[in-house]
Amino acid sequence: MKNAWENYADCCICFPWFSEDIDILIDKGVLKRTTTDYQYEWTKSKTSLAEYFKWIGKNAPYVPGGFWAPIEYTFLLKGEPIKRGDLRRLAGKNGNGAKPDESRDFKEIKKFVLQYRKETKERLKTFHSIRKLIKKAKNENPKTVKTALEKIKEIFA
Q: Which range (61-65, 99-103, 132-136, 137-141) has the least confidence?
A: 137-141
Q: Where are the domains of the chain?
A: 4-100, 111-156
**Predicted confidence (pLDDT) per residue in 17-29, tens digit:** 999 999 999 999 9
| pLDDT, position 23 | 92
Q: Which has the closest alpha carbon to 77: 111, 52, 98?
A: 52
**Predicted confidence (pLDDT) per residue in 35-74, tens digit:** 777 889 999 999 999 999 999 998 888 888 899 999 999 9
| Phi-psi region at 34: left, alpha or beta (left = phi > 0; alpha = psi -120 to 50) | beta
Contact 72, 40 (CB under 8 A): no
pLDDT at 154 over 80: no
Burial call 47-72: b when 16+ CB within 10 Å, e when fewer: bbbbbbbbbbbeeeeebeeebbbbbb
| pLDDT, position 126 | 83
pLDDT at 157 over 80: no
| pLDDT, position 114 | 96
**Predicted confidence (pLDDT) per residue in 84-127, tens digit:** 899 998 888 776 777 888 889 999 999 999 999 999 998 888 88
